Structure 1
Amino acid sequence: MTPPSPPDRPGTGTPERGAGPGRAVPSAWRPDLPAVLVAAGAFLVTLALLLPGPVHGRSALVPDSGRLSWRLEADSARYLDTATWRTREDAELVRRIDAVGSPAAGSAGRAVWDVRTATTGPDGTLGHLAWRVAVDRSSGEAVRCCGAHVDGDHLARPHGLTLWWPPGAGAAERPLFDPESRTSAPAVPDGADLVSGVPTERYVQTVAATRASEPARPVPARLFDADARGTVGAERWLEVERVYWVEPLTGRVVQLREQRRETLRPEEAGPDGETERVLLAADFQTPPEEAAANAAAADRRALLLRLTSTDLPAALGGAGALLVLVGVLRRAHRPDRRRSSAAGRV
């Protein structure tokens, strides 16, 4: 009977496979920290280079989707009630501009917006207009395409800006399209303002007395001559002064004031009758709470643009460069493992 083998003494057990005299047992894998630092730094530097270009460039464009809405209110307004043909004084009116983006109708470089404008008062709707505009997403200017029209007229040719200013373009005089007169009038820089603490640029546009594009309408002749009978054809004329408060980085209008005067003028004025009758006279303004909400939304988007254009690239680039430098220095000062192992065997 073979006696049992004595227990192994500490340190004299069976060697691991592959181990032998003069051969070290492989240790657990350790990451190459300098290489990791250099790779991470290179990634951050690359990201910093991409943010101001492709990433910021895609953000700093006129949006092609979403909803925009401006609500303007006027008190002490004056208008002609076309149901009774009597003038109403000190009326409270509301003017709304609602726009909906239609990305399916546009393209990568063009945004398409469907816009509805309506003025309402105690007696219902006083006026409305529907139009579609296509704009270049970089310049904000109208282009002819994509079914653009003004109140169904596809021959109308919008020119200049419409709903947005070009993001980050700076204050400058620019043509601004007025869909009711179907003409463009310059929007002139008029200083800077704070709207609910958000910096804005102010622009003023004046549309001189212009005949509206719709055909003449039949109205009672007595509107222009108290002794007249029957009806006459009358044309609507429009005078508007608008003030826009624009957040410059996003190009978004956050506040709007519109001093509007509309009149009816007979196609053929009689020698003794009046030459016009006031149809609407009102000073519309964005309510403070609406302006504050618009300014807050624009400020959030402006923050994103600032981060992607300067702040984040600077931070990421600095952090990446620091990581690369630390990795290189650690590599330069780390002893060579192979030489250390060889020296140990000797």
Structure 2
Amino acid sequence: MTAAPDPSVTSERESAPVAPPPVRPAPAPSLASGEPPRSRRLLRSVLLGLGIFLLVVGILLPLYVYPRVAVLPEDPQTEQVLKAENATVLMADPSNPAGASVLTGVDVTATNFVSEARGVDGKGDNDAVWDIATRIEVDGRGLLQARVERLSIDRSTTESTNCCGDRLVESEEEPDGKPLRHEGYYTFPFDTQKESYQIWDVNLQRSSTAEYIGESTREGIDVYMFRKAVPLQKVGSRELPGGLFGSKELNVDAEAWYASTRTYWIEPNSGDVVGIREEITQQYTANGRTVTAFEAKLESGKPAQDRLDQASGAALVLPWLRGRASIVLILIGLLLFVAAALVGRPIRRRRTPAH
């Protein structure tokens, strides 16, 4: 016989609270990689494209643009005027039995005009052929000397090329003049350095050394200074009236002597001449006597405003085209590449695990 359950025990069990099941901590969400949103992908493409563009431009500026900008003009049409006071000159003088007289204490003006030579054959694509017309006049007395020098020159390096009939015409009676073999530089090169250069001297008919002597400022432009010193030396001979040298002969063969000290003020980026000063001596010697033909201290005045503007513009633009702009553009391009990489990084998304 089974005992009946105790009702008090049953009631107590039914009223006791039931403990909830233990709560387990949720597992950490796993991480997954994904493409960045469309706006960031677009921005990445823009940054990459702009970076590539800047790199290409930075490379092309010194290699392609600069060589096409830093060239001499085919037809310069430039004039340079130098003046001197208290000069000594030998001028034709019909009133003198010798046919010429030495004048002292006179003022002189030397003018050089450079223009394109016409009707030239054999010129290369990068050659310029110039006619350099020089006139030396004595104030109040007229023309002392005139000549036309034909020069062929490389427009990029500014060195002589002798491609196209280089010559010197000093007399109307000989319009073809005599051949010249130029050497060295007629004008200073683009990107002039602080070093010596071989500069052409028409009186020597060869080049001589122009030494770098320092930096300065002229007409508001930063310049390099060079000095070319030619000691007194024999440079040829010339037939002159014997009376000039105390000779009874109608004409004598006189030795020609020349000396010069020339100082240049050069804008270094373009090689433009901002100023010139020259102390020059030309003498003739025969029969034991020396006659001074020309002695003066010449100096250029202020260049024309367009030439000053050209030199100032070159000083500003050419250094950037030659290298500065490339450095800046390439650095910016690389920074844009870095920015594009950061923008284009995959987004790490949170993924909730399935239950």
> TM-score, structure 2 length as denominator?
0.72
1:56 to 2:48 alignment? no
What is the aligned partner in structure 2 of residue 27 from structure 1?
A: none
Which whole-Å deviations, capped at 9, do the CAs of 1:21-70 have from their partners, x for residues lacking one? Answer: xxxxxxxxxx9443233222311221111112221233344444423332
What is the aligned partner in structure 2 of residue 276 from structure 1?
A: 290
75, 82, 89: which is aligned to 2:92?
A: 82
C-alpha distance in structure 2 between counterparts of 1:186 and 1:102, whole Å: 27
User: Which moves more between the two structures, 147-156 or 97-106?
Assistant: 97-106
1:193 to 2:216 alignment? yes
C-alpha distance in structure 1 between counterparts of 2:55 and 2:341, whole Å: 15
Q: Which has the larger radius of gyration?
A: 2
Contact conserved, 1:39 with 1:324, CA < 8 A, in 2? no
C-alpha distance in structure 1 between counterparts of 2:178 and 2:243, whole Å: 36
Q: Against the structure 1 CA distance between its residues 308 and 66, is the aligned structure 2 distance closer, same or farther, given a 3 Å change threshold?
A: same
C-alpha distance in structure 1 between counterparts of 2:117 and 2:321, whole Å: 26
Secondary structure at the residue paired with 2:45? helix
C-alpha distance in structure 2 between counterparts of 1:312 and 1:208, whole Å: 44
C-alpha distance in structure 2 between counterparts of 1:149 and 1:168, whole Å: 28
Q: Against the structure 1 CA distance between its residues 112 and 324, is the aligned structure 2 distance closer, same or farther, given a 3 Å change threshold?
A: same
What is the aligned partner in structure 2 of residue 246 from structure 1?
A: 266
Letter in structure 2 aligned against 1:100? S
Q: Counterparts of 1:175-324 in structure 2 under 5 Å?
A: 175-211=198-234, 216-219=238-241, 221-225=242-246, 229=248, 231-235=250-254, 236-266=256-286, 269=287, 275-287=289-301, 289-290=302-303, 294-324=307-337
C-alpha distance in structure 1 between counterparts of 2:149 and 2:73, whole Å: 18
Letter in structure 2 aligned against 1:71? V
The percentage of counterpart residues that share the same residue type is 22
1:119 to 2:136 alignment? yes
C-alpha distance in structure 2 between counterparts of 1:334 and 1:37, whole Å: 18
Give the Å deviation of 1:137: 4.0
Q: Against the structure 1 CA distance between its residues 334 and 114, is the aligned structure 2 distance closer, same or farther, given a 3 Å change threshold?
A: farther
C-alpha distance in structure 2 between counterparts of 1:314 and 1:176, whole Å: 33
Contact conserved, 1:189 with 1:202, CA < 8 A, in 2? yes
What is the aligned partner in structure 2 of residue 156 from structure 1?
A: 180
Contact conserved, 1:258 with 1:284, CA < 8 A, in 2? yes
Query: CA RMSD for the aligned pairs?
Result: 3.2
Q: Against the structure 1 CA distance between its residues 154 and 86, is the aligned structure 2 distance closer, same or farther, given a 3 Å change threshold?
A: closer
Letter in structure 2 aligned against 1:50? L
C-alpha distance in structure 1 between counterparts of 2:101 and 2:192, whole Å: 47
Give the Å deviation of 1:284: 0.4
C-alpha distance in structure 2 between counterparts of 1:90 and 1:307, whole Å: 49
Give the Å deviation of 1:262: 1.8
C-alpha distance in structure 2 between counterparts of 1:185 and 1:179, whole Å: 10
1:168 to 2:191 alignment? yes
Give the Å deviation of 1:127: 0.9
C-alpha distance in structure 1 between counterparts of 2:178 and 2:296, whole Å: 30
Contact conserved, 1:38 with 1:325, CA < 8 A, in 2? no
Contact conserved, 1:196 with 1:291, CA < 8 A, in 2? no
